[in-house]
Structure 1
Amino acid sequence: MLGLPKSTEMRKRLPKKTVYAKFQMNTATKEKIDADISRITIANEITPSKINISAGEKVSSFFVLSVTLKRKDFDEKNIITLSKLIPQKILFVLEYENESKLAIFHTKLIQTDWKPTEQYSIELRGLSLDTVWENIVIDVGGLSMEQGNTLDEQIEVNEKRQKLEKEIAKLEKQAWAEKQPKKKFELANKVKELKKALNTLTITEEN
């Protein structure tokens, strides 16, 4: 899967009942997961002995989990729950019919877009599994690392930027539709303030 070395392949089914029993899930959580997830399979295990890359200080190994979904508009909280319960770094391959998206939890759930399953591949780049894992997070998140930022800092900056851009787009749409001059002016001022904040954030990150 994902073009990873054959030495890492496992293809081991992980029954949902086993997960429920091991982590003592309540009925409500079980029902939510059952509504979204059909099957969980451990597709690959990445370890130093299997790929000849040394363990890192934070990451000694990680799994690739193939998750077959029952619906495309799944509840993201179910994937977050799995990532928090299983005490291991996990790269999820979320599959629905002939499409997939990659997902990874690193301070928040990061996902790719949907596309045909066979088009996805992952490159293991780095001299240790710490670096390999960080590069996978960067690839899945489509992150452009800005100078001086740690991975966590970059994710936080991107999130702030996305929230500002979303709010600006919403207010611009409201201002365009607003007929009262006073209200239109107020909305335009709010947009101006947010654009200034967005510009300041960008300049701060560049310096």
Structure 2
Amino acid sequence: MYGLPQTTEIKKQLPKKAIYAKFELDARQRDSFDADINRLDLTAFVSPATVPAISEEQTVKEFYLMCVRLKRKEYNAKNIVLLSRLISQNIVFALQYEDETQLVVFHTKLISSCWKPTDETRIDISGLNLDAVWENIIKQVGQIDVEEGRSLTEQIQADENKAKVEAQIKTLERRLATEKQPRKKREYFEMIRKLKEELS
């Protein structure tokens, strides 16, 4: 499954009703969850017992692959965040819609890959211990390049801040293009220049 070793394969369906009961979801949460999610299956378990070449670490001792069959492609991300918080394990979510898959992990926030044909979707296990393997999976899913001197968490925060500044610049550039007053145009131009300096 997704290129993981056969030794990691498990087959365990998680009935939605059991999740609703165990975690006492309210009617609104149940309705939203049910509108998006058709079926949940734990399909792989990665640990030193199932992949002897990697060792356990202090932070990550194991992780699961959960296949989530979706009823619609435009799902509510809050439902996946909810799942990741309810189940206190490291989990790679393989969200499947028809013949496509999107990989999702939670690390300070929800991190997702692009949609790909399911038969082309792979999860690479690289690293000597589970901390390194898990970090590399997060980087792979989010296509994150960690700059020298930064931790993965710091890089995610930096990338998020950069995306916010870039969005601000685009908004201001649209306003600049339609603004008629010269004074306002200068203000927008200066604001854009300062934000671009922040990025560099």
Match of 2:190 in 1: 189
Classify the secondary structure of the residue corresponding to 2:28. Answer: helix
TM-score normalized with structure 1 length: 0.93
Q: Kindly provide the CA deviation profile for residues 147-203 of structure 1, in whole angstroms up to 9, marking residues without a partner as x.
A: 11111111111111111111111211221122222222211111111111111xxxx
Is residue 2:36 matched to residue 1:14? Answer: no
- What is the Cα deviation at residue 73 of structure 1? 1.1
Match of 1:125 in 2: 126
- What is the Cα deviation at residue 28 of structure 1? 1.4
Is residue 2:108 matched to residue 1:113? Answer: no
CA distance in 2, matches of 1:103, 1:180: 46
CA distance in 1, matches of 2:56, 2:19: 27
Name the amino acid aligned to 1:73: E
Gaps of 5+ in 2: none
- What is the Cα deviation at residue 142 of structure 1? 0.5
CA distance in 2, matches of 1:64, 1:170: 39
CA distance in 1, matches of 2:28, 2:180: 47
Gaps of 5+ in 1: 200-207
Q: Kindly provide the CA deviation profile for residues 39-96 of structure 1, in whole angstroms up to 9, marking residues without a partner as x.
A: 1111111111100111111111111011111111111111000001101000011111
Identical-pair percentage: 45
TM-score normalized with structure 2 length: 0.96
**Where in structure 2 are the equivalents of 1:45-56 lying within 5 Å?**
45-52=45-52, 53-56=54-57
**Where in structure 2 are the equivalents of 1:143-162 lying within 5 Å?**
143-162=144-163
- What is the Cα deviation at residue 115 of structure 1? 1.6
Classify the secondary structure of the residue corresponding to 2:49. Answer: helix
Aligned residues: 199
Match of 1:169 in 2: 170
Q: Kindly provide the CA deviation profile for residues 125-152 of structure 1, in whole angstroms up to 9, marking residues without a partner as x.
A: 1111111000000111101110111111
CA distance in 1, matches of 2:96, 2:189: 43
Q: What root-mean-square deviation, in Å, do the aligned CA atoms of Structure 1 and Structure 2 show?
A: 1.0
Match of 2:34 in 1: 34
- What is the Cα deviation at residue 108 of structure 1? 0.3
Q: Kindly provide the CA deviation profile for residues 12-36 of structure 1, in whole angstroms up to 9, marking residues without a partner as x.
A: 2111111111112122111110111
- What is the Cα deviation at residue 11 of structure 1? 2.6
Match of 2:86 in 1: 85
CA distance in 2, matches of 1:104, 1:46: 15
Name the amino acid aligned to 2:26: N
CA distance in 1, matches of 2:70, 2:178: 39
Name the amino acid aligned to 1:3: G
Name the amino acid aligned to 1:16: K
CA distance in 1, matches of 2:57, 2:25: 31
